[in-house]
Structure 1
Amino acid sequence: MADSAPQAGDPGERLLALIGQFAAEVHPRHVTPVTLTSSFERELGFDSLARVELLQRVSAAFHIELPASALSATDNAAQLLRLLDQAGGAGAPPATVIDLHQGSAAGLPDQAATLLDVLAWHVAHQPERTHIVLHDDRHDEHRLRYRDLLEAAREIATGLVERGLLPRQSVALMLPTGADYLASFFGVMLAGGIPVPIYPPARQAQLEDHLARHARILANAQATFIVTVAPAKALARILQASVPGLRAILLPAELRRPATPLPFRAAASDIAFLQYTSGSTGDPKGVMLTHANLLANIRALGQACGVTAGDVFVSWLPLYHDMGLIGAWFGSLYHGIPLVLMSPQAFLARPALWLQLISRHRGTISAAPNFAYALCLRHVGADTMRGLDLSSWRLALNGAEPVSVDTVTGFTRQFGACGLSPQAMTPVYGLAESSVGLAFPPLMRGPRLEVVARAGFVEAGRCLPAGPGQDDTLTLVSCGLPLPGHQLRIADELGRELPDRQVGRVEFRGPSATAGYYRNPQATARLCHGGWLDTGDFGCTMEGELFITGRSKDLIKRGGRNIYPYDLEQAIGEVPGIRRGCVAVFASADPASGSERLIIMAETGSQDPAARAALRTQLQQLALDVIGVPPDEIILASPHAVLKTSSGKIRRLACRQWYEAGQGAAFHAHPMARLRLAAARARVTLALRVAGAWAFGAYAWAVLAALATPAGLLIALLQRPALGRRIAHLAARCLLRLTATSIAVDGLERLPRQPHVLLVNHASYLDTFVLTALLPDRPGYVFAAKQELRRHALVRAVLTGLGAIFVERADVRRSADDVAAMAAVLARGDNLLVFPEGTFERAAGLRAFHLGGFMAAARAASPLVVAGLRGTRAALRDGSWLPRRAELALTVGAVFQPAGTAWRDAARISAPVRAAMLALCGEYDAQGHP
């Protein structure tokens, strides 16, 4: 399409025909006549992404490059026609290439504690080196060195201090991509303030409404100043009325002053900036990110990406969102690699320019949401592709919105002809609450796609592999493993961690995690619980890798913009003819574009066609006024059609599911009584499930206390290990029987009759109870317990009453006494039970082995027996004290004979032992993981 030939005829007629055809595609059910003055937004219902698509088609049809401003400067065909008259032929980046790597790099600011330290380090070590190449709308490029950025930032900081900015006061930045934004951001930090990036207006005609929507953010942030573009200054009085603490709206030029010494020195624990997750909700959430958070994330991302001094980052991502601000800019700054930066508007006006800059500057890393890759697929034609060389592009990061399998495979296939490596496409996962990045796949592996059975996914939330030839399937895309030093888990509604392939809420923790939302304790309480942060997304893990399956939040993302439905629902409820409190606004996936469609479902009792048509027009206009984008579809539903909870809250997810199942027809036809009944049943089922889980947990603990107290005291008093092991065996078996815990046992007959070392994986506190109940008690097994347990008198007495030996788990191979003690157990005819991992952790995976048990077996010439425990981690996870029912299994596997008594012999045999244990325990190999 991008290289189609222009048609003959009058340009105005051709343009109207093209727009009319496009309007019919966008809203096939509501065809509106197109005239030269028909508003793209208010009358034709084109949102920002639709206007991008339209401009691409116009450029292709007329063989003209429209300016980047066309997206914001045109709202009807007449305005677009004037731009066509003024525009020239399709342009291209200049031929001269700026040298991005002058001399050798100085290294990395490893000791930097703040972003300001990072910039100061580069200025001290390589001030003349290119930091950023700014590509403007005229295809001119401007070099910005580290020294240039620091000097400009000091001038801005001096101006802010002179105007009275105090440390830790916030300053809002609403500026387009450019040198002023870069200098202002660091200028605020140098002055001691907290930058608050917010997105600039898409169209000047909507500037007042745009700023009014930001008033709540500015009030929550207690912004002292807002630094923005000239047209916004006239609206200072409006914002100051809503935000009493806002002193002035300023231009960067008004702030520049000759730099003076700045006394403020930021600490690692200081808030570096606030990242607001929405501008259209009554409950604004400003993610607090400290310098320590940001640097931890940037360093982890650099490790995951394998960043070197030879890399070049090319980006069009907006600098008011975390992916462009932290991932592209701050990441390039820290690692000392050049950043080629263009504006989002320039990309939207001409997607091919992004790829041309990667080709021109030999870009190695670039990132974008899925819609950007889809846009290139549709609008980069054969003529442009012939001039592209994408062989340098090693990381095409795809994140910030749901990843489309079709887009991933289509982009890789189409641009493989331009040298793009099949392994370059890299789906990733992150969120502002984790600074920016959270999960990253193995380097240069390419996308991992998992085809799962739809039935198990829908009915039980299980992502089971689809069988051969199975048709009803879903394809999920892996986002990889947690970044180094970070953890994630999948949890159910009780906060209990779920096993692999089970869908639940994605939660995380790590050094990049925010402490919460600025001046919003209620939202922070919903975010943080038990040391974990809720991402608001559903997902599952497979072999430790994260697969996102859907959003649990009501957040709607459109073209990189976040929309919350509440304000729009409230406003629509006030419209005469609409039933108040009976409105649902939700997103529905559009497989064709890989993005989301915005759907409004509103109840009305009116059946008059003219009145319903008027309501549609009014609701479309209202959506533009409240959230700044038009809806894709408006459903005027019968009374009682919008689903609610028992407390009266709108069930948006259920409404979306019914819409997607019947394409909205069911909403028009009846109130969906059957769905209400199904919803009621689901609520009752969930309530019973929750109550049952708590009841079982309380009962299990009560039984344990009733059995363990007398048994433990008796064992501690008798101090007769053989009898103590018999008592423990009987008590553990009673515990399993009274709690109706069944365990699948296989291979006990393979246990040797001679003394041996039994090696078992360690996943839970339940392991010792399960093994004590299942293993023979005569002659019994002596546990090798960690040395720390000796500190507790009662625990020590019970363990010595069982004959346990205490070992130093930190470095057992250097403890000859521990090895000798274990060998003595075997020599006297007892068996030895060893957890070679030494301890267990919350996260799944078989971890590195300690070799003490191996050395003891070699010294006593005793066999090594491998066994695997399954299910205990799910039954009682580390950090949780609520046991749950789970499928448990113990399998006894192969028997190994030690080959020698040296440490290297023990290390050599540990490899096949580990492989055997991995096959039995059902967990992935986490050896070497942090």
Structure 2
Amino acid sequence: MADTIDLVPNTGPALSPTPNEDGLDRRFADFATFGDALDYAAKGRRGFNFHDPRGTLIRVYPYAELRADALAVAYALVARGVKKDDRIALIAETGPDFAALFCGAVYAGAWPVPLPLPTSFGGKDNYIEQLAVQLASSDPVLLIGPDEIAAMTAVAAERQGCAHATWADFANANAAPVELPAAEPDDICYLQYSSGSTRFPHGVAVTHRSLLSNLASHSHGMELQPNDRCISWLPWYHDMGLVGCFLSLIANQVSGDYLKTEDFARRPLAWLDLITRNQGTSISYSPTFGYDICARRISSQSPVSDRFDLSRWRLAGNGADMIRPDVMQNFVNAFADAGFKASAFLPSYGLAEATLAVTIMPPGEGIRVELVEEERLSGAPRDLSRPARYRAIVNCGKPVRDMEVVIRGEDGQPVGDHKIGKVWCRGTSVMHSYFRDPEATAACLVDGWLDTGDMGYMAQGYLFIVGRAKDMIIINGKNHWPQDIEWAVEQLPGFNHGDIAAFSVETDNGEEAPAVLVHCRVSDPVKRLELRDLIRDKVRSITGMNCVVELIPPKSLPRTSSGKLSRAKAKKLYLSGEIEPFKLAA
């Protein structure tokens, strides 16, 4: 047992990653509490491995060392007066510091609350405001963050009235060992804030029982193999990164390799380099945009087979946003010569309110799509005067173990196969509640069933997601998915996925109209006018609607903590004038 936390990186030529396999009998999250899971994982030689922006291994962190450091953190927290069920807010930077602090808070009986790092947009004041709002919601006794951003975290903590500390404050923790609170399966393990929860945040309270049920479903649904290894750049403040690529590895005794999210953003192909160097079989997840970035980056590179070997990439998970089959096909086209197999794709569906996974595609089935008429997606009657248009809807797999999924119509009753409605799920891993928000909890949890807020349909036991109910644009009584409008603009030359945000606005005459914000890289005023008209005509040809088109500077559109486009925030910033469109001549 370590008395101090060694935060000095392991360096030098002798550095070797933790193994894919060791002599410890594999247990698949069959533990009563998460602390029990870490206690067991620490008996083996597997663990975490952290890499620099170029993918060079800089820190090896076996689970045995993590456990020792986490216990030291727990004793230090108790010495500071932290009690069972207190909240400990942690800035979730990918690295051994956060890992030890998160697990240490759990050992101390407190609830860790992962919060995001600053992003490249929004600025210092916006970040402090975001932290302050989430701190007000979670009401922690202590906020701990990296030394480098201490000036910002200290301001946010002072505004909320909670104590403040940095990684360095725990680097030489030497509190005396004490008896730690005993954890029970139905105790809260942590609070998770879902993506984009900045103005009205909802802290998802997850119990040990719910967590371990979901983590066990990962190993079952993915058919975990002895030689599997996880490679990830996903942020640890998002449920897919925190639960799927951090907590799951401990509970299922899997070694993992990590790039920081910001390093992936600068050098995305370093992700594929890590997968190439793994001599075992790789499991790695990404939202659609991660695959898109890599496929675009490689277009000007030398032959992919000279640099990458993706033949051992067993499961290429895809989740956290609407899965786009065209992007996935582009990735296959770009990396097939490096050995990547389309059958490796593993579509899935989940949300923080269900801990993480709700459905997972059976391994080896890859991406399967169904073409669905857009009129069916919107619920509108078929317009026979126009040719039918179809959208490819991705199969997101089957419910994970101990999870039920049902589609309900507008009357709240279950509907049959291929009938679109609201997606509801029920299972052990559904959240306990939204922290201190009984009204929001009651609104989405009914008789044990969780209203996900998503729209979809079932077909032969598989779930197909068609969009978010809250993002629906309703014009003249007809429903339109913003993804359809955004997709229409993306078909024009010069636009990338994520350049467009569509939502509804109220016009001067009080009617609703679709608005489209588009990143514009054209400087000539005449060309901008032509581009606006081209976009307007394209949207009209796809949807039959006239729309408000606003050209905005590149990188203006806000994103959630997991990198997804935030349409709700884009609309708010546009209406408030914080997103200022280019002025166009009449």
Shorter chain as denominator, the TM-score bin is: 0.7 to 0.9
SS of 1:380's partner is helix
The residue that corresponds to 2:557 in the other structure is none
Gaps of 5+ in 1: 1-93, 463-469, 557-585, 607-629, 634-656, 669-930
The residue that corresponds to 2:333 in the other structure is 413
Question: Shift of the alpha carbon at 1:333?
Answer: 1.3
Question: Shift of the alpha carbon at 1:595?
Answer: 4.1
Q: 1:51-109: CA deviations, max 9, x gaps?
A: xxxxxxxxxxxxxxxxxxxxxxxxxxxxxxxxxxxxxxxxxxx9986362364343216
Question: Shift of the alpha carbon at 1:380?
Answer: 2.0
CA contact (8 A) 1:658 1:666 kept: no
Counterpart CA distance in 1 for 2:284 and 2:367 is: 16
CA contact (8 A) 1:221 1:518 kept: yes
Change (3 A) 1:390 1:105: farther
Alignment of 1:57-96 (within 5 A): none
Q: 1:394-430: CA deviations, max 9, x gaps?
A: 1100000000010122212321211112210111111
Change (3 A) 1:240 1:97: closer
Instruction: Indicate which of 46, 54, 62 corresponds to 1:130.
Output: 46
Instruction: Indicate which of 357, 367, 374 corresponds to 2:285.
Output: 367
Alignment of 1:126-205 (within 5 A): 126=44, 129-137=45-53, 139-141=55-57, 142-203=59-120
Instruction: Indicate which of 135, 153, 178 corresponds to 1:261.
Output: 178
CA contact (8 A) 2:422 2:453 kept: yes
Alignment of 1:752-831 (within 5 A): none
**Which residue identity does 1:481 align to in structure 2?**
K
The residue that corresponds to 2:142 in the other structure is 225
Q: 1:418-463: CA deviations, max 9, x gaps?
A: 111221011111111111100111221111111233344444599x
**Which residue identity does 2:435 align to in structure 1?**
Y
Q: 1:828-873: CA deviations, max 9, x gaps?
A: xxxxxxxxxxxxxxxxxxxxxxxxxxxxxxxxxxxxxxxxxxxxxx
Alignment of 1:15-26 (within 5 A): none
Instruction: Indicate which of 424, 427, 430 corresponds to 1:513.
Output: 430
The residue that corresponds to 1:739 in the other structure is none
Aligned alpha-carbon RMSD (Å):
3.1
Instruction: Indicate which of 529, 532, 549 corresponds to 2:446.
Output: 529
Gaps of 5+ in 2: 1-12, 474-481, 491-495, 510-516, 521-538, 551-586
Instruction: Indicate which of 90, 103, 113 corresponds to 2:32.
Output: 113
Change (3 A) 1:447 1:334: same
The residue that corresponds to 2:369 in the other structure is 449
Counterpart CA distance in 1 for 2:375 and 2:544 is: 18
The residue that corresponds to 1:26 in the other structure is none
Counterpart CA distance in 2 for 1:294 and 1:443 is: 22
Alignment of 1:104-503 (within 5 A): 104-108=23-27, 111-123=30-42, 125-126=43-44, 129-137=45-53, 139-141=55-57, 142-203=59-120, 206-235=123-152, 238-240=155-157, 242-244=159-161, 246=162, 248-255=163-170, 256-258=172-174, 260-278=177-195, 280-362=197-279, 363-381=281-299, 382-383=301-302, 385=304, 386-459=306-379, 472-503=389-420
Q: 1:858-896: CA deviations, max 9, x gaps?
A: xxxxxxxxxxxxxxxxxxxxxxxxxxxxxxxxxxxxxxx
CA contact (8 A) 2:16 2:60 kept: no
Counterpart CA distance in 1 for 2:127 and 2:424 is: 33
Counterpart CA distance in 2 for 1:600 and 1:106 is: 52
Given the alignment of the two structures, is residue 549 of structure 1 paired with residue 466 of structure 2, yes or no? yes
Which stretch of structure 1 is more off in the superposition, 250-259 or 357-366? 250-259
CA contact (8 A) 2:518 2:549 kept: no
Given the alignment of the two structures, is residue 589 of structure 1 paired with residue 471 of structure 2, yes or no? no
Counterpart CA distance in 1 for 2:503 and 2:327 is: 27
Which structure shows the higher helix fraction?
1
Question: Shift of the alpha carbon at 1:157?
Answer: 1.9
Structure showing greater relative contact order (alpha-carbon pairs closer than 8 Å, 6 or more residues apart): 2
SS of 2:141's partner is strand
Change (3 A) 1:409 1:200: same
SS of 1:451's partner is strand
Change (3 A) 1:122 1:524: same
CA contact (8 A) 1:105 1:309 kept: no
Change (3 A) 1:135 1:171: same
Question: Shift of the alpha carbon at 1:207?
Answer: 2.6
Given the alignment of the two structures, is residue 100 of structure 1 paired with residue 3 of structure 2, yes or no? no
Q: 1:101-146: CA deviations, max 9, x gaps?
A: 36434321665211110110122x32xx131111123543121111
Question: Shift of the alpha carbon at 1:555?
Answer: 10
CA contact (8 A) 2:232 2:257 kept: yes
Counterpart CA distance in 1 for 2:77 and 2:83 is: 9
CA contact (8 A) 1:481 1:544 kept: yes
Q: What TM-score do you get using the length of structure 1 for normalisation?
A: 0.49
**Which residue identity does 2:455 align to in structure 1?**
F
Question: Shift of the alpha carbon at 1:263?
Answer: 1.8
Counterpart CA distance in 1 for 2:438 and 2:214 is: 24
Query: Which of 1 and 2 has greater Rg?
Result: 1
Change (3 A) 1:437 1:472: same
SS of 2:90's partner is strand
Q: What TM-score do you get using the length of structure 2 for normalisation?
A: 0.77
Question: Shift of the alpha carbon at 1:358?
Answer: 0.3
CA contact (8 A) 1:659 1:666 kept: no
SS of 1:589's partner is helix
Counterpart CA distance in 2 for 1:482 and 1:109 is: 18
Question: Shift of the alpha carbon at 1:665?
Answer: 3.9
CA contact (8 A) 1:226 1:249 kept: yes
CA contact (8 A) 2:89 2:135 kept: yes
Change (3 A) 1:481 1:110: closer
Question: Shift of the alpha carbon at 1:516?
Answer: 1.8
Question: Shift of the alpha carbon at 1:158?
Answer: 2.1
Change (3 A) 1:458 1:220: closer
Which structure shows the higher strand fraction?
2
**Which residue identity does 1:134 align to in structure 2?**
F
Counterpart CA distance in 2 for 1:454 and 1:537 is: 17
Change (3 A) 1:506 1:473: same
Counterpart CA distance in 1 for 2:508 and 2:379 is: 35
SS of 1:377's partner is helix
CA contact (8 A) 1:97 1:361 kept: no
Question: Shift of the alpha carbon at 1:230?
Answer: 2.5
Question: Shift of the alpha carbon at 1:277?
Answer: 1.7
Counterpart CA distance in 1 for 2:274 and 2:195 is: 31
The residue that corresponds to 1:79 in the other structure is none
CA contact (8 A) 2:486 2:501 kept: no
**Which residue identity does 2:87 align to in structure 1?**
S
Q: 1:616-669: CA deviations, max 9, x gaps?
A: xxxxxxxxxxxxxx9848xxxxxxxxxxxxxxxxxxxxxxx989736754689x
Counterpart CA distance in 1 for 2:365 and 2:397 is: 10
Change (3 A) 1:149 1:384: farther
Counterpart CA distance in 2 for 1:122 and 1:437 is: 22
**Which residue identity does 2:240 align to in structure 1?**
M
**Which residue identity does 1:271 align to in structure 2?**
I
CA contact (8 A) 2:157 2:164 kept: no
Identity, % of aligned positions? 31
Q: 1:479-532: CA deviations, max 9, x gaps?
A: 011012210010012210011001000000001101220101111111112331
**Which residue identity does 1:512 align to in structure 2?**
S
CA contact (8 A) 1:451 1:476 kept: yes
Change (3 A) 1:270 1:413: same
